[in-house]
Structure 1
Amino acid sequence: MTEYLRIDLDAEQWECRVCDHVIGSAGKSYKEGMLVHNRDPREIHPPIIDPEKYRFTFSPDPEWVRILEYYCPHCGTQVETEYAVPGHPPLHDMEPDLPALRAQWARREEVKEAVVGPAVTADKGHGH
């Protein structure tokens, strides 16, 4: 499903692709089974100008935005990050069609290794 998430179609469960930890039911949001760090956006985007002197510092206001980081509860791999409005629930970003996935993967083998494209370097004709 993503670089760090997969679905076990037989068990209908989200799994961490790094440590194989079962995160939760694939019928629900994977985020329900994650550790969540509610980051102060100023830690990620620090003020560009002095906040003691200026109200607007080019840094996000934590009263208007929050950054949620989602981690595998077993191995600690960061799986997702989202910018959200304080007070709103986390985004429900994936709702897989399990029967369709099951039918699709019945004709395929599992991809166990990352697929990497050809190396592109200046000496191989890539001209910009």
Structure 2
Amino acid sequence: MKVLMTEYLQIDLETENWECRVCGHVIGSAHEAYKEGLLVHNRDPRDIHPPIIDPEKYRFTFSPDPEWVRILEYCCPGCGTQVETEYAVPGHPPLHDMQPDLPAFKAQWARRGELKEAVVGQAVAMESGHKH
């Protein structure tokens, strides 16, 4: 059974692996941080948030200083889908943002049916009068 965790991540409870929801690529063990199995692009924050005032004239330009912040983009190695983005201090390890309790998930989902699509998508469709 597969449990939807985010827009682009799911856990296969049988294999206990993280998977990409777009292409099904096995990212790694769900006992570990999913980010360890993703490609990482370390972006210059000025590419995302360009200076508002002239950096030739001013030290502080309202753009993040790359000496103080980095933007990490995590992508699926199978299909290239961007799974997560993280603002971090340079030199700080990636955030470990999810630690699923797999035995509890297995017990909980054994009583439910497997979801093939996010509940949010069903709620939006029901509000608009469409049925799946």
CA root-mean-square deviation = 1.2
Equivalent residue for 1:16? 20
Equivalent residue for 2:77? 73
- The number of aligned residues is 120
**5+ unaligned residues in a row in structure 1: which ranges?**
121-128
Structure 2: distance between partners of 1:63 and 1:56: 13
| Partner deviation per Cα, 1:77-126 (whole Å, 9 max, x = no partner) | 00000000000100000000000100111011111124332139xxxxxx
Structure 2: distance between partners of 1:92 and 1:108: 28
**Residue 39 of structure 1 aligns to which amino acid in structure 2?**
R
Structure 1: distance between partners of 2:24 and 2:6: 14
Structure 2: distance between partners of 1:55 and 1:87: 23
- TM-score for the superposition, normalised by structure 2: 0.88
The answer to whether the aligner puts 1:6 opposite 2:10 as a matched pair is yes
Identity over aligned residues, as a percent? 81
**5+ unaligned residues in a row in structure 2: which ranges?**
none
Structure 2: distance between partners of 1:96 and 1:46: 37
Equivalent residue for 1:123? none
The answer to whether the aligner puts 1:119 opposite 2:96 as a matched pair is no
Structure 2: distance between partners of 1:5 and 1:103: 20
The answer to whether the aligner puts 1:92 opposite 2:96 as a matched pair is yes
- TM-score for the superposition, normalised by structure 1: 0.91
**Residue 92 of structure 2 aligns to which amino acid in structure 1?**
H
**Residue 51 of structure 2 aligns to which amino acid in structure 1?**
P
Structure 1: distance between partners of 2:58 and 2:128: 47
Point out the structure with the larger helix share: 2
